[in-house]
Structure 1
Amino acid sequence: MKSLWNNFKVAFAMFSKIPMPRADWTKENMKYMFCFFPFIGTVIGALTMLAAYAGLYFGFQPGFVTAVLVLVPVFVTGGIHVDGLLDTSDALSSWQERARRLEILKDSHAGAFAVITAAVYFITWYGAYSQLYTSENIKAIGIMSLGFMVSRCLSGIGVIVFPKAKADGTVAEFSRNSSDVISRNILILYLVFLAAAMIWIQPVWGIAAIVGALVIFVYYHHIAMKYFGGTTGDISGFFLCICEVGMAVILAVVSNVFVM
């Protein structure tokens, strides 16, 4: 039990800004870390639902609540995945050879394409939540709240299963220290339960969201393999961000077209 608790602490210390007791980053304490990675999404989802219900209950202006909803994941994670989104966007937009793209991923400077991507990313989130934030669409926000776990399940599976672009990167280190088969199977099991819950909340909307996430996962594999020769921490963050905003946009569209 102590080992599992340490794995939990390492996962939250690495991928969130939630204060955690100290745990040594040993192989034993990272063995099942990815099994706890989706629970950061649980925190984001719970805060998302809390903000949405509080906004409706207290009558806050939709624009204010929408901005809070957009920023909840950033506050919880510290923007670690957004950093990967921006670095990967710079690398992809460079149209350089593979080795140069991998160098750009490590560059701490933000290029023009990273700035453009950040603007498009947050505007897209704002637009999606503007459509979703109504009492009629609260079920869609509930599905999206589960989506924060779905994206992390798929991200963890990608880290475990996909080839690594760099043998000395953070993702490669995490993968070496993890129990691949057990972690992968647990993440798949999570996905099955999450998909069932999303479909139970609202069948059409839930199916659309989970199918959209899987399509984006396939796209992630294509991008990682074609342009980088495998995945890295930054590319994994890139996937997580576009997976979540993609689900939000899908839910905004289908909840308006298929009104329940």
Structure 2
Amino acid sequence: MKSFITALQFLTRIHLKNQMDLTAEDFGRSTKFFPLVGLILGLIYMLASWCLIAAFGWANLVTTLLVILPVLLTGGLMLDGFMDTVDGVFSGRERERQLEIMKDSRVGSFGVLALVCLFLVNWSALRDVKLVLIMTALFVMPIIGRMAMVMAIAFFPYARKEGMGKIFAEMADRETVLLAAAVTLVFVVPWGQAAIAALLIGLGFAWLVATWLTNKLGGLTGDTYGAIETLTETVVLLVFWGTSWIPGGLHILWR
């Protein structure tokens, strides 16, 4: 329970109790519960979408509120990592300088532009998902995103000699992966073909991004974990968009 609460309070703005005596190992042990935190967020997103759509219909403002909701609930933690990663990786500098840029708390122009583009894609994709799939997409999105983060933590080396993300990588063992994968499968697969397609494509995409970043940086960092999670959520929305609007979308995906 302590590890789950640690994961919940680290990844979200949901605070259940004060944890003043946490160690680095406590954070490392919490990794296995990341998809479970995604489940909590998914339930909130799904309930919020049901209430907003019931009250206002599928209006533009409702779409905007649903895109903003994850930022409010997570404090923008993953988005911060995404922006730092973009600033560093696309700086055109050598590897060590890229890592230094990513560690800088200031956000650069590349990061800001990337965030604007990401929000535009998320808004457009969510707006065009068929109404019957909206709640499903919002429910599975944070679960798959956090499973992608666990995968990146467990299977790819850490780029820095030290850093908070290093303890996650060092303690992500077989049990971590199995528990995270079990939670993900149990709560994603029952939602049907679109959800399964989003899971497979999302994790495949995350693996490719993690591989590319590892080749470029010599490993991953806490910032890249956030970037991978953020981009995977966008891919999940795009999969649901595709299955909604591509003619025979699901049949194409399964060929």
Taking structure 2 as the reference length, the TM-score comes to 0.89
Q: 1:217 aligns with which of 199, 206, 213?
A: 206
Correspondence for 1:193: 186
Q: Is the 8 A contact 2:141 2:233 kept in 1?
A: yes
Instruction: Give, as a single letter, the amino acid of the residue that structure 2 aligns with 1:56.
Output: I
1:152 corresponds to which letter in structure 2? R
Alignment of 1:99-178 (within 5 A): 99-132=96-129, 136-176=130-170, 178=171
Corresponding residue of 2:74: 77
1:251 Cα shift? 0.9
- Judged with a 3 Å threshold, the aligned counterparts in structure 2 of structure 1 residues 230 and 246 are, in CA distance, closer, same or farther, namely same
Identity of aligned residues (%): 25
Residue 256 (structure 1) shift: 1.5
> How far, CA to CA, are the matches of 2:238 and 2:230 in structure 1?
12
How far residue 138 of structure 1 moved from its aligned partner, in angstroms, is 2.6
Cα distance, 1:103 vs structure 2: 0.5
CA deviations 1:155-174 (Å, max 9, x no partner) are: 01211221000121111123
Indicate if the aligned counterparts of 1:47 and 1:72 stay in contact, CA closer than 8 A: no
Which residue of 7, 17, 30 maps to 1:11? 7
Counterparts in 2 of 1:27 and 1:89: CA distance versus 1, 3 Å: closer
Q: What aligned pairs does 1:11-90 form with structure 2 within 5 A after superposition?
A: 11-23=7-19, 24-26=21-23, 29-30=26-27, 32-60=29-57, 62-90=59-87
- CA shift, 1:219, in A, is 1.8
Instruction: Judge conservation of contact 1:51–1:65 (CA < 8 Å) in 2.
Output: no
Comparing 155-164 and 34-43, the one that deviates more: 34-43
SS at match of 2:157: coil
State how far apart, in whole Å, the 1-side matches of 2:107 and 2:66 are.
25
Between the two proteins, the alignment pairs up a number of residues equal to 248
Q: Indicate how the Cα distance of structure 1 residues 185 and 53 shifts in structure 2: closer, same or farther if over 3 A, else same.
A: same
Q: Is the contact made by 2:151 and 2:177 (CA closer than 8 Å) also made in structure 1?
A: yes
State how far apart, in whole Å, the 2-side matches of 1:150 and 1:109 are: 29
Q: Rate the CA distance shift 1:188–1:207 in 2: closer, same or farther, 3 A.
A: closer
Q: Distance in 2 between matches of 1:85 and 1:232?
A: 11
Relative to the length of structure 1, the TM-score reads: 0.88
Partners of 1:109 and 1:94 in 2: how far apart? 14
Which residue identity does 2:145 align to in structure 1? Answer: S
Cα separation, 2, equivalents of 1:254 and 1:110: 35
Listed as ranges, the gaps of 5+ residues in structure 2 are 251-255
Change (3 A) 1:157 1:109: same
Structure 1: runs of 5+ lacking an equivalent: none
- Whether the 8 Å CA contact 1:143–1:198 is kept in 2: the answer is no
User: C-alpha root-mean-square deviation of aligned residues, in Å?
Assistant: 2.0
